Structure 1
Amino acid sequence: MENTNIWDADWEVSKELAGSLIFGQFPQLAGKPLRLLGYGWDNTVYAVGNEFTFRFPRRKIAVNLLEMEGKILPQLEEYIDIPYSKPLFFGQASEDFPSPFLGYTYLEGTFPIGLTDEQRLRSAGSLARFLKGLHAFPVAVARAQGAQQDHRNLIDIASRKDRMLGFLGELKVHLTADEVCVIESYLRQITLDQASPREVFMHGDLHFKNMLVDGTGAISGIIDWGDMNIGHPGCDLNIAYSFVPPQARAAFFQEYGAVDEETKILARMIAVYIPMLILIQSISDNDERTAKEAKAVIFRALTYEGSGRK
């Protein structure tokens, strides 16, 4: 039976299987406690003690992406200053599990759920500097290590708009009439069909489930780099709308560097698109906490700077 949702797994990795694979291939870790941290669309994640995390592909499409991580992530250290997952253990495919897997340094923190605007403001500058540095990573090096070119065709704004209108149809029963109106009005007013192709190296999947914050709400880590690719910076810059409060967006872009209006259109669209997907998944999973945050992200992104209007 084929998967019907993009988050459906090809491979489930139980705690027993994860332990067998990790401790079997890396016996120096035997005896450390193992616990499930969670799963995303592409990977299941376990912690080994408080020192390491291991990611196992859930979907076949994630295998090549994981292998790319192992090659590129060690090279990013001189470009970015926010902690990120560095691969240390390179697990091999076997009869028990048909895919390679990776073990990384463990990053302390929690997802940025329920933060105040004041807490978010503290990280606006550091996130802008993070993306400025990341986007300076040499495209030629990334391409040589397997980074794909806009593999999700993110610059096709017209097709993404149609998909989002479809998502809205699914979500109508979970939103108020006013909320549906705000999202639909936003989508209907977008007249740009496609963004101009651009080439920067980027994370490719920045959202609140791939970011960590410390006890004060400050950004403490960036995780899940499986969608690294070469493409339009607007994809990563979605966090200027999804994470950064409206009153801090001008300062964010001043720190990052000037961007054109087309980039801002694409960035805001991705800032709405990703949490719509997360909202649909969290509703399916009966995850009320994540659903509430995803909904908040959508309407933060649709709050315009300086006007308070949506």
Structure 2
Amino acid sequence: MHPGLHSFDDDLVRRLVAGQFPRWAGLSVERLPSGGTVNAMYRLGDDMVVRLPLVKGGAEDVSMEQEWLPRLAPRLATAIPEVLGAGEPAEGYPWRWSVYRWLAGENPEAGALSEPVLLAKDLAGFVAEMRSITLPGAPAAYRGGPLASLDASTRAAIEELRGIPEEGVDCDAVAAVWEDALRAPGWDGPPVWLHADLMPGNLLVDGGRLTSVIDFGCMGLGDPACDLFPAWNLLPADARGVFREALGVDDATWRRGRGRTLSQALIALPYHRRTNPAMAHNARHVIRAVLGEG
């Protein structure tokens, strides 16, 4: 998926665990299938999971999660990852890594939600709780800055998609949505706490209801529009309206949120269309959902 990916095998993970956490040596190790682009995930025994960065850029996320997740957890009703062990570089592996408590559940799939309206309310509740947090010294969210900072990469992706007609993207239509988002007034309130990467792969559900939110590598302070991603990457139209109403989202923030979600999809589709089916599939869904709003 990316240049500079670190290669893994089960034996490397066993050696890392045994060398640094002897009490867990001998537990079963099994790589988990994942559409994620930054980390490899390994089930460790029945109750834990090992998360290791695939690329150098993910190494900083590990340290940030180790610092902030224990501080966020008491302030959230929804379960989030619990760090059980902080691993260090060893055995030829160059970056820090983590062991977390296993969180049960399934990733929701757009178009196959059993309780979309209830899930929309659950997601809105999580986003609202994140926004209410007032912990000092928070980092800036990875995607929390001005929308205009995404303009060059978004326009480049649109032009790249013009050269891939088999994807069937109406590039003039998505460009018009992007222009509308750029014209929306910017956020003039204080920055709020964000997860900033609410993709379906970072959500866990059981019985159609949200049980956990994972992968906080993009978290921090920023524009509240950044946590509106589920409106278009997951929820059908009726549940999308429930999500918006529950959060009380004004028109400008909604337009910025739609633009941010669309931008991510436009950039992801040409990049991942041959290498990451899950990411490409979700990008196509977002583009259809956004254009379907009219």
1:40 has 2:36 as partner: yes
Instruction: Provide the C-alpha distance between the structure 2 equivalents of 1:208 and 1:281, rounded to a whole number of angstroms.
Output: 19
1:18 — aligned with what? 13
Q: Report the CA distance shift for 1:293/1:68 in structure 2 as closer, same or farther (over 3 A).
A: closer
Question: What secondary structure, in the 3-state scheme, does the structure 2 residue paired with 1:220 have?
Answer: strand
Alignment of 1:1-310 (within 5 A): 7-37=2-32, 38=34, 40-94=36-90, 96-116=92-112, 119-140=115-136, 143=137, 147-152=138-143, 154-155=145-146, 157-172=147-162, 173=164, 174-176=166-168, 179-192=170-183, 195-196=186-187, 198-214=190-206, 216-256=207-247, 258-285=248-275, 287-304=276-293, 310=294
Figure out how many residues of one structure are paired with residues of the other and give that number. Answer: 290
Q: Deviations over 1:135-172 (max 9, x none)?
A: 111141xx2xxx422445631x2342332222122234
Q: In the aligned structure 1, how far is the partner of 2:140 from the partner of 2:92?
A: 33
Q: Per the alignment, do residues 299 and 151 of structure 1 end up closer, same or farther by CA in structure 2, a change over 3 Å counting? A: same
Determine if contact 1:65/1:227 at 8 Å carries over to the other structure: yes
TM value normalised by structure 2: 0.86
Residues 65 and 226, structure 1, Cα contact 8 Å, conserved in 2: yes
Over the aligned positions, Cα root-mean-square deviation in angstroms equals 2.5
- Structure 2: 5+ residue stretches without partners: none
Residue 135 of structure 1 aligns to a residue whose secondary structure is helix
Question: 1: CA distance between counterparts of 2:149 and 2:191?
Answer: 21
How far off its partner does 1:240 sit? 2.6
- Structure with higher RCO (Cα < 8 A, 6+ apart): 2
- Does structure 1 conserve the Cα–Cα contact (< 8 Å) formed by 2:184 and 2:252? no
Unaligned runs of at least 5 residues, structure 1: 305-309
Aligned letter for 1:40?
G
Q: Is the 8 A contact 1:139 1:200 kept in 2?
A: no
* Cα distance in 2, alignment partners of residues 72 and 45 from structure 1: 20
- Percent of matched pairs sharing the same residue: 25
**Change beyond 3 A, Cα 1:117–1:15:** closer
Distance 1:164 1:30, change over 3 A: same
Question: Could you tell me how far 1:191 is from its partner in structure 2?
Answer: 4.4
